[in-house]
């Protein structure tokens, strides 16, 4: 699989999001997904300390085992686990990393990300604590998530010369959620920051399993009542036209969703979850469509003018 850079890290262009581990998958099912992802060429694994109350990190660490050295391991801190474990205060950053290292069963985290901004803490203080972790060898690179362009600029200006700086930002981005194109993606290109899209499949809407006039699959995320805002007439129209477009080119809408994101220069790896080995393999295989300028223009027309 093609690889791209996040700072000094070299990652597969398809990454595995691990938010299902523990929450929807027990350990045996987690290991089966991890095994399939590795066999399919995925080397970038992204989790967070809050996923299923810290169990995602535990399951991922156990599932990787000795194969830890074969992957780029990313996790996050800062979202609320409980009243004591949350935020971006330097003293908490130091504790959070030790807890994550223990759960993951490793001596270092390749990409350590601030999960969400903490307005109560000056970003310079958080960056200082993260720089200490890099210098101590506990973290290789640092990143952020859910940051606006203004916050990215603020963090860049606050980073001291020679100290660790954010090399990535992980925000929601898909064919159906294009907000980052306004200012975050241009800021990433200006600063040389890698962009990591999450929810690239719009909670499954861009897999093709939700079709106009058909019931949602039993047990699916949108059928369970979550993200109902996505099942609009407009989005369903877009999905139908994207499916038709993909089929004309000999591809699937899943391949389109991944390959369209990877056509953006700032995008380093597309993070998608999987609840089965088959999904992990399908995601890994979906990034090979090299879209032409003409195809990209047609896709833009479909998404902006679905009627």
Q: What is the DSSP letter of 177?
A: B
Report how far residue 271's alpha carbon sits from residue 14's, in angstroms, rounded to the nearest whole number.
6
∠ CA 124-126-128 to the nearest 5 degrees?
70
CB count, 10 Å around CB of 266? 22
Report how far residue 266's alpha carbon sits from residue 144's, in angstroms, rounded to the nearest whole number.
15
Which alpha helices (H) appear in 45-183, and where do they start and end? Answer: 55-64, 90-104, 123-135, 149-158
Report how far residue 219's alpha carbon sits from residue 283's, in angstroms, rounded to the nearest whole number.
20
CB contact set of 192 (below 8 Å; sequence gap of 6+)? none
Report how far residue 87's alpha carbon sits from residue 133's, in angstroms, rounded to the nearest whole number.
17
Which of 51, 59, 92, 112 is catalytic? The answer is 51
Is 59 designated active site?
Answer: no
- Identify the three-state secondary structure at position 139: strand
* Catalytic (active-site) positions: 51
């Amino acid at each position: 699989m093609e690889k791209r850079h996040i700072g000094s890290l070299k990652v597969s262009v398809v990454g595995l999001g691990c938010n299902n581990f523990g929450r929807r998958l027990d350990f045996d099912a987690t290991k089966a997904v991890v095994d399939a992802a590795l066999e399919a060429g995925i080397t970038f694994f992204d989790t967070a300390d809050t996923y299923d109350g810290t169990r995602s990190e535990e399951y991922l660490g156990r599932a990787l085992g000795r194969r830890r050295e074969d992957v780029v391991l990313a996790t996050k801190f800062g979202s609320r686990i409980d009243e004591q474990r949350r935020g971006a205060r330097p003293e908490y950053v130091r504790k959070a990393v030790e807890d994550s290292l223990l759960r993951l069963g490793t001596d270092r985290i390749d990409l350590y990300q601030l999960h969400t901004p903490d307005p109560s803490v000056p970003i310079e203080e958080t960056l200082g604590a993260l720089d200490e972790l890099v210098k101590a060898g506990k973290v290789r690179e640092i990143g952020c998530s859910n940051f606006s362009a203004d916050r990215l600029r603020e963090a860049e200006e606050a980073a001291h010369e020679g100290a660790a700086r954010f090399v990535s930002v992980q925000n929601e981005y898909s064919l159906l959620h294009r907000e980052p194109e306004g200012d975050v993606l241009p800021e990433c290109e200006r600063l040389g920051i890698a962009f990591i899209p999450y929810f690239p499949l719009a909670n499954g809407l861009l897999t093709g399993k939700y079709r106009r006039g058909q019931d949602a699959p039993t047990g699916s995320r949108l059928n369970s009542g979550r993200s109902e805002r996505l099942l609009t007439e407009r989005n369903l129209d877009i999905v139908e036209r994207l499916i038709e477009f993909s089929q004309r080119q000999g591809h699937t809408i899943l391949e389109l969703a991944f390959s369209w994101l990877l056509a953006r220069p700032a995008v380093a790896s597309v993070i998608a979850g999987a609840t089965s080995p088959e999904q992990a393999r399908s995601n890994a295989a979906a990034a090979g469509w090299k879209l032409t300028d003409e195809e990209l223009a047609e896709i833009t027309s479909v998404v902006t003018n679905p009627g």
